[in-house]
Each structure stands twice: as structure tokens, then as C-alpha cells.
Amino acid sequence: MSGLSQLIGNRIRGFRKMQRLSQGELAERCGLHPAYIGQLERGEKNATLESIQSICRGLQITMDQLFYGIASDDSPAGDFNVTEQIGLLLDGLDTPEQMAVYHMILEALKLRS
């Protein structure tokens, strides 16, 4: 498959793992087969727009978040940027939830030293 299919698959996997969902759990949320989710994540299948919409709903993200920064060509702008993705996830939270995530990050950073 194309590099774009692989990029979208990697993003789906990244969002799924950030939410600690198995492929089966995501598939159940989306009404799709777990094998299909795996094929998409590996870039083996091209997703339909309907599947992408279902996956975004299942991940509770917008299609904008999934496709953020993907250029219309093969430029590096399509690379997955963790910082930007974290910011996009935080945008969907209210202030107390954002503060909770902020404090979790601070605690996690303390563990690295």
C-alpha cells in the first residue's frame, strides 16, 4: 500500500494506544471487524471515508485530528508530531481535565531521573 495508507494506519494505532484500547475494543466501538482495524494500522488496506469516520468516532477524535498536518504530497509535513497530537487531545478536555493531565505529565517526568 501507499505511504499515505501507512501514515494513516500509524496515526490510528497511535491514538488507539494513547487510549489504551485493544484493536478489538476499538473495532467494537466502531462497528468494524478487529482484523480490518489491524489491516488499516499496518497500511495493508485503504480505509473508506465511512470507516475513517467510524474510527474517529470510536477514538473520540475529529477527522481533523487524524489528518492534521498531512500534506497533499509526500512532504515531511505529514510526519506524526507527538507534541501536536497531545495538544489536539487536550483541546477536547475541559480545564480541570487538562490540569489533571498536566499533573500526570509532571509526575511522569519526575520518574525519568
pLDDT for res 56: 96
What value does the mean pLDDT take over residues 100-113? 87
- Best CA proximity match to 89, nearest among 79, 78, 100: 100
Share of the chain above pLDDT 70, in %: 86
Q: Describe the crossing of helices 34-41 and 23-30 by its angle, rounded to 10 degrees.
A: 110
Contact residues for 29 (Cβ-Cβ < 8 A; gap 6+): 21, 57, 58, 59
Ordered by where they begin, the domains of the chain are 3-79 (1.10.260.40), 81-113 (no CATH)
Q: How many helices (H) and strands (E) does the chain have?
A: 7, 0
pTM of the complete model beyond 0.85: no
Amino acid identity at 2: S
